[in-house]
Structure 1
Amino acid sequence: MLIAAAFTLLVFAYSLVSRRLESTLITAPILFTAAGALMLLIPEASRELSIDQKGLLLIAEVGLVMTLFTDASHISRKSLQDNHRLPVRLLSVGMLLTILLGAAAAMACFDGLSWWEAGILAAILAPTDAGLGQVIVSSPRVPPRIRQALNVEAGLNDGLAVPFLMLFIALAAAIEEGVGTRGVLARFLLEQIGYGTAIGLVIGLAGGVLMGLAQRRQWMSPELGQLGVVAMPLLCILAAEESGASMFIAAFVAGLAAQVGFPKIGRHSVEFTEGWGQLFNFFVFFLFGLLFARNWHDFTPAIMLYSLLSLTVVRMLPVAVAVSGIGLSRASVLFLGWFGPRGLASIVLGLVYLEQQASLPGEDSIRLAVMATVLLSVVAHGLSAKPGIERYADSSAALPADAPEYAAVAAPSSGKDRLRV
């Protein structure tokens, strides 16, 4: 009760001064993470956290399912097909290289870590979170093409990271238990990905067609239509639990598939994303602060080195490779590379990994590296967002009008930028 009461009071207080804080460097993730960390000064809060870990994890999992669904439902095919397909480059070559380089960096930084364990860490930290730099994806001073590339990347790479994470966990656990990896891989492909994709397609296609029909015949009120949108990812959770599939893959696929029968689904999920979705984000960062405060004394130089590498070399080099050959300025490449913050998805995926109870030898290194990287990102990207915009705006203003940065882009399917914390 103490944790819930403190969080609720903080949300109320933040709502009172939220507009004033917009002009400062204090972002919502910084505020809620710091408040969560301070809660551990109260002994009762520490005891309550130990007792209620399963309940807190359930809230985080449900929230991530909702986020994956709404993110996928907001992204249109047109937004992926801008000039030279910049978002596709970041989500394909960029993301694959990020996971590979992240795993290689983990092997170099930590002794005794297997390649599969290194892959787990890299997959957890691969997704970016536009919420940590929301001012960037909504700033008119940043060229629309760059803003949209970061926005679309953050909206889809969390869902794309889930299969990699689940695969690496399954293979690492199989090797640790001395089980053949071929059978584990086959079961993973069938249950986690196969069943998850099938569930997502059925719920997304059927739900989208029915909601589209109801809208065309004016059976559905706009307000209650939002409840129908929220019900689809909840159905994914229930179906996945019964079949052993991944609820995250199911929700992500459902969000994409629902657009087939109901192209305007992104607009109907805006209120949830802006309201209840933000409340969930606040809670995850508050929970992260609690968990960080319990473990900060275990951070080693190797942990801090990896977190620094993860936010710089592991992110920026793959981005540079992915966007090479399309004529972006050096300032644009640096801007895209630096503003790939780690936040919401990495926190929840880290909790999901711990829930698997794989008992891998490198579990402590994985857990601490994720926490250190997210914490560093919350602070560094939060504080550098506005100064970064100013410097990049000055640089991009000197570019010619026909520069690739100013190429025309398609608007998101929701009709506005996808909003997160």
Structure 2
Amino acid sequence: MEADIAVIAGMIIAFALVSRRVASMALTMPMVFVAAGALTDWFGVVELAVETEGVAVLGEITLAIILFGDSARMDVRSLERQVGLPARLLLIGLPLTVLLGAVLFALLIPGLSGWEAALVAAILSPTDAALGQAVVEDRSVPKWVRQGLNVESGLNDGLAVPAVLLFIALATGEETKPGFWGRFIVEQIGLGVVIGVACGLVGGALLVRAHRHGLVQGIYAQLATLSIAVLAFAGSEVAGANGFIAAFTAGLAFGAATGREKAEEYDEYTEDTGRLLAIASFFVFGNLFVVEAVGDTTVAVVASAVLALTVMRMAPVAVAMTGMGAAPQTKLFIGWFGPRGLASMLFGLQLLEEGVAEGLSDADELFAIIAWTVVASVVAHGATATWGAHRYGEWYAAMPDHERDAMPESAEVRDRRVRWSLHRAPKV
């Protein structure tokens, strides 16, 4: 295990040394590290296993920290005043994505139960703006579009958590146990929210108070913020609640207790830690699942991945944006740039861990769909982000002024930093 860690650390250092050059190419960090993981597995340099000590813990902690950071950086009051596009994508587009995906997967995969199909759809519903970072960094793309995609990707993984948990339980037959629904609502969700809110509010208030009285140094405030995220996650797991829900709600409460500016200041180290863990997670994903997914390839699995990245995303986006007055080109652009990445990977790992433990017979096939979708998204969205953003920006700039000014794409929106970038989260 020590040798494997040394290889991963060496690759991170090597990538850092050429990261600026890589950023100017049609390559992204996820593309590089998924490929590195797959190649080291293929040549037997690093051979991890799902049962390898620390793999499941890495996935869980990574997702918890990212959920906390995304929600902590969200300006809730500002979002309430400027709902618009992100609200439609989250409140209309996200549920429709799960519903449509469940129907498509049930039709494509023989023998798949309705709950299993819904589970895969829920796992593949969150988007990851980091896979197409050029889209939210390209200033030629209207801020209204960039902000909508950024806020959506920052919040939809947290909103997808209850659905993923519920469908795992339904797919594995847990709902047949006495008192399942009460335990799920009260313990998994209710208790998780209570613990998360308590950790976020108390931790945030104490940090602000200590900072006001000159009792805390900056680095320790940042370390404490990371520890609040871990405490919410681990504490809720010990109490029998769901750690992911606790981490997400802890971030919301922490941001409310500290204010947006302080939340971003305190969260800087947590953000960097999440970025490091994300790099390791992409490598682990490539090493554990890519070669295996190729061996499990079927026509139905590949077709499911293609539809997950196209119809399953684009149709709900078109419906969600109906009546806004946005151009068809904008709907197509937003519909395409909904990459599936880190959240889907980590939810998928959760599926394997709990599905195998609960005797879910189709766990491997379900994960093959997830693996193919994520790999295809890493490549397709990473390769088309710069080109697509440039072409869309050119189209927008070429519009006559009077037409462009009347479009919702031209609306003024406040900067809202939610999802971290591969370098430093930009103001979008």
Shared fold by TM > 0.5?
Answer: yes
Secondary structure in 1 matching 2:404: coil
The 2-side partners of 1:28 and 1:375 are apart by 13
- Give the letter for the 1:245 counterpart: A
The 2-side partners of 1:182 and 1:84 are apart by 41
The 2-side partners of 1:406 and 1:78 are apart by 22
User: For 1:159-184, what per-residue CA distance to the aligned partner results, in whole angstroms no more than 9, with x for missing partners?
Assistant: 11110011111122226xxx636732
Secondary structure in 2 matching 1:275: helix
**Partner of residue 366, structure 1:** 366
- Give the letter for the 1:420 counterpart: S
- Unmatched segments (≥5 aa) in structure 2: 423-428
The 1-side partners of 2:36 and 2:145 are apart by 33
User: For 1:370-405, what per-residue CA distance to the aligned partner results, in whole angstroms no more than 9, with x for missing partners?
Assistant: 000000000000000011011100111115223211
CA contact (8 A) 1:70 1:266 kept: no
1:400 to 397, 404, 412: 404
**Partner of residue 286, structure 1:** 283
The 1-side partners of 2:214 and 2:271 are apart by 25
Sort the Cα spacing of 1:39 and 1:29 in 2 relative to 1 into closer, same or farther, 3 A: same
The 2-side partners of 1:405 and 1:220 are apart by 43
CA contact (8 A) 2:29 2:279 kept: yes
CA RMSD of aligned residues (A): 1.7
**Partner of residue 94, structure 1:** 93
**Partner of residue 20, structure 2:** 19
Sort the Cα spacing of 1:217 and 1:406 in 2 relative to 1 into closer, same or farther, 3 A: farther
**Partner of residue 305, structure 1:** 303
Secondary structure in 1 matching 2:325: coil
- Unmatched segments (≥5 aa) in structure 1: none
**Partner of residue 30, structure 2:** 29
**Partner of residue 159, structure 1:** 158
1:244 to 240, 245, 256: 240
What does 1:6-405 correspond to in 2, within 5 Å?
6-43=7-44, 45-46=46-47, 49-50=48-49, 53-81=52-80, 83=82, 85-174=84-173, 180=176, 183-263=179-259, 264-272=261-269, 274-291=271-288, 292-356=290-354, 357-397=357-397, 398=399, 399-405=403-409
How far did 1:351 drift?
A: 0.5
How far did 1:297 drift?
A: 1.4
The 1-side partners of 2:192 and 2:164 are apart by 14
CA contact (8 A) 2:352 2:364 kept: no
How far did 1:188 drift?
A: 0.8
User: For 1:33-61, what per-residue CA distance to the aligned partner results, in whole angstroms no more than 9, with x for missing partners?
Assistant: 11100001333622xx1385241110121
- Give the letter for the 2:16 counterpart: S
CA contact (8 A) 1:229 1:268 kept: no
Count of paired positions: 413
The 2-side partners of 1:303 and 1:184 are apart by 32
CA contact (8 A) 1:171 1:184 kept: no
Secondary structure in 2 matching 1:111: coil
> Does 165-174 or 49-58 show the bigger shift?
49-58
How far did 1:4 drift?
A: 1.3
TM-score, with normalisation over the residues of structure 1? 0.94
User: How many percent identity over aligned positions?
Assistant: 42
- Give the letter for the 2:188 counterpart: Q
Sort the Cα spacing of 1:183 and 1:94 in 2 relative to 1 into closer, same or farther, 3 A: same
TM-score, with normalisation over the residues of structure 2? 0.92
